[in-house]
Amino acid sequence: MIEIHGPTYKFKGEVLKKTDTLVVLDHHYDEEDKCFHIKQLLDNSPYDHKVRFDHVLLHDDILKNYNLEFYPSFLAREEEEFNQHQIVVDWSNRTHTFNFMLNKPRIHRMLLLGLIEDYNLKKYTHSLPWKHNNINSIPVTDYKFGTEVTMDKGIRNGSFKNAKTYDQLLKTTVFEPSCISLITEPAFFERESILTEKTIMCIYGGTLPIWIGGWRCADALGQFGFDTFDDIIDHSYQSLDDPYDRCHKAIELNLKLLKDFDKCRTIVEDNYSRLQYNLKLLQSDIFKRACEKLDVQ
């Protein structure tokens, strides 16, 4: 197997000398060059290579007819980390309609900040660990252990694990008090699905998911058996061609819910068993089992 670090890899004319499996780590679309460099590598090889993605769960873009394998090892590691942390959940005190959590200033994350004010959305909890928010008046936050490095837009967590950050900093301040999570996963331009610890936090928080900017994230999660609450949340935004439209429609199609705290609170209370089902599925090591199934094929 040949490992390729997706965010930093750039094709430089190299030729693969023999048939092998390429393991692509992390997201791999180059927003600056507007291309998948891995495609150029594959096209420059005389052999047919399998491509194993460790983050990508669905791909409907230019590589869709290649020999692709979706191997959720990143989610399996995050799942294990959260499950071993023995997080005690408490979904009994909902006080806010929705939450959002932003770190690195990707396009759809900055767009979400604008949409929240444009639609006059209130009653939310959030994490925005920036030094300054020069986009609008939404305040920055300071949830940290003390040794992290706060940058102008973002925070370097150092050695702190996502499960610990959730349990000690975000669980009772951002997720559990809210009913809906507005999730901004890494992908934006590319038509492929990536889920990370952000979606896991939504499940542990017992919240309804709306993905802002991602491609078919509800479908990606649903294929593992999770309930995406598509009878409550309108996820038809998820496959719109224009990524900016996906962001706008995610809010617009669900605006009545996002503006009605009492209705949201009633919905999550009435659907407690469905939220609990998702948590139990996550705690059953569903992503690890998906990897093991692929290993024996």
81 in the same domain as 71? no
Q: Which of 75, 94, 116 corresponds to the end of one domain?
A: 75
How high is the pLDDT of residue 188? 96
H helices of the chain, where? 37-43, 73-84, 107-118, 162-165, 197-204, 217-222, 243-252, 255-258, 261-270, 272-283, 286-295
Shared domain for 85 and 155, answered yes or no, is yes
Residue 142's pLDDT is 84
CA nearest to 214, candidates 3, 88, 24, 29: 29
pLDDT tens digits, 95-121: 999 999 998 889 999 999 999 999 999
Q: What is the DSSP string of 233-245?
A: S--GGGG-SSHHH
| Total number of domains constituting the chain | 2
Domain extent, residue 32, equals 2-75
- Per-residue pLDDT at 146: 72
Domain of residue 255, CATH code: 3.40.50
Question: In the listed set 18, 41, 75, which residue is the last one of a domain according to the structure?
Answer: 75
- Residues 166 and 133 both lie in one domain: yes
Domain contains 294: no
Residues 87 and 7 in one domain: no
Question: Is residue 214 domain-shared with residue 227, that is, in the same domain?
Answer: yes
**Residue 73 has which token pair?**
């090892």
Convert the pLDDT of each residue in 209-252 to its tens digit.
999 999 999 999 999 999 999 999 999 999 999 999 999 999 99
Distance CA 110, CA 133 (A): 10
From 23, 50, 75, give the residue that closes a domain.
75
pLDDT of 172 reads 98
Q: What pLDDT score does 144 carry?
A: 80
Q: Establish if 115 belongs to a structural domain.
A: yes
Do 68 and 122 have their domain in common? Answer: no
Same-domain status, 148 and 48: no
Write the pLDDT tens digit of every residue in 32-67.
Answer: 999 999 999 999 998 889 999 999 999 999 999 999
Same structural domain, 49 and 121:
no
Q: What is the pTM of this model?
A: 0.95
* 269 & 172 share domain: yes
**What value does the mean pLDDT of the chain take?**
95
